[in-house]
Structure 1
Amino acid sequence: MASRPSAPHPAPTPQGDAPTPVALMERLARAAAGYYRDLTAAAAAQGLTMTQAKMLILLRQPLPMRALAGLLTCDASNITGLVDRLEAHGLVSRHLDPTDRRIKNVVATQEGKDVVRRIRADMRATSAALTRLDEEGRRSLYELLGRMHPDETA
C-alpha cells in the first residue's frame, strides 16, 4: 500500500516573529482537514454522509431550512433532500414556524441528538488533539476561533 505524500509545511517563522496570515491559513486548513477526516469517518459509522452529520450538529436549536443552507454553504434546494433523508431515518423533523407559517424549522429528534453524541464520541483523533491542550489552551483556542468569525459563534 503506497503512503500518501504529506502536505508541504510552511517554513517556520523566526523565533519571536508572528506567523503570517498565509502561514495561519495553511495551519488552519490542515487542522480543518483533520477534523473533517475524523467527522467523515465517524458519520460513516452512523450510516451518514459528512454533510448529513454537519447538519445534525448544527441543529442544537431549531433552524429554518434557509438558515441551514447558509450555514452549510449550499443551495436551499439541496437542503430539502438532506432533510428528507434525515427525516426518513427519524433523526430530524420539520415544524412550521409559529410566527411565520411559510417558514419550516428543522428540529433534531432525540435519536438525532443521540447520533450527534455518538459521532462526537467516535471522533477520537480530534478529541485527542483537543485533550492535549491544557485548560488555558482550550480557553484561548475557543476565544480565538470565536473572534475569527464572530457572526457564526452562536
Structure 2
Amino acid sequence: MGRLVGMATSSSPAASPTDPLTLEVVELIGTVVARYYEEYETAACEHALTGAQARVLGLLSLEPMPMRRIAQKLKCEPSNVTGIVDRLEARGLVERRPDPDDRRVKLAAPTEEGHATARSLRESLGFAREPLASLSHEERVALRGLLRRMLGTA
C-alpha cells in the first residue's frame, strides 16, 4: 500500500468537495469512466451491438434476471430494457424463460451464443485490464475496497 500513503483515513477530517485533491480525484475518475465507455462502445460496435445492448448482455452473462432488476442496475426505465432485450432476443443472444421461483415472472437469460458474445466483449476491453495489471495484487485489493466504500457496498 506504499502508493496510498497520505490518503485520508477514517480518523482524518472529511475532504472538502472543493479542495484541490478532491477536484483532481473527481477529474481522474471522470477520465477513467469516459475512456471505459469509449472503449466499451467500440467493442460493442465490433459485435454489431449498441452500448446498451452490450451492457445488458454483460449483466445477463453473470446471472439471468427479470427486466425490472436489469432496469434498476442500469438506472433506466423497464420499458427501455424490454426493447433492448427484444432486439437481443431477435439476434439469438438472449431468451426469456420462466423464473423457477415465480412462474409469473420472466427472466432474461443469455443463450450459448449470448454467453460467447459477452465473453468476447469482456476480452476485448483492454483499457481497464491493462492499467490494473500494472498494479500489485495488494494495490488492486486496496482499490477495490476504496471503490466499494465509495459506492456504499463495503
Fold shared, TM-score > 0.5 on shorter chain: yes
Aligned sequence identity (%): 41
3-state secondary structure, aligned to 1:63: coil
For normalisation by structure 2, the TM-score amounts to 0.79
For each residue in 1:128-154, what CA deviation from the matched residue of structure 2 results, as whole angstroms up to 9, or x when unmatched? Answer: 222122222222222222222245x8x
Alpha-carbon offset, residue 24 of structure 1: 2.7
What's the TM-score once normalised by structure 1's chain length? Answer: 0.79
Q: Which residue of 2 aligns with 1:28?
A: 29
Alignment of 1:30-109 (within 5 A): 30-59=31-60, 60-109=62-111
Equivalent AA in structure 1 for residue 65 of structure 2: L
Give secondary structure in 2 for the equivalent of 1:93: strand
The reply to whether residue 134 of structure 1 matches residue 104 of structure 2 is: no
SS in 2 for 1:101: strand
- Taking a change above 3 Å as real, the CA distance of residues 23 and 122 of structure 1, as seen in their structure-2 partners, is same
Change (3 A) 1:141 1:17: closer
RMSD of aligned Cα (Å): 2.1
Instruction: Judge conservation of contact 1:38–1:126 (CA < 8 Å) in 2.
Output: no
Q: What is the DSSP-based 3-state SS (H/G/I as helix, E as strand, rest coil) of the residue aligned with 2:97?
A: strand
SS of aligned partner of 1:94: strand
The CA distance in 2 between the partners of 1:22 and 1:129, in whole Å, is: 22
**Which blocks of at least 5 consecutive residues in structure 1 are unaligned?**
1-14
Deviation at 1:102, TM superposition (A): 2.6
Q: Which runs of 5+ in 2 are unaligned?
A: 9-19
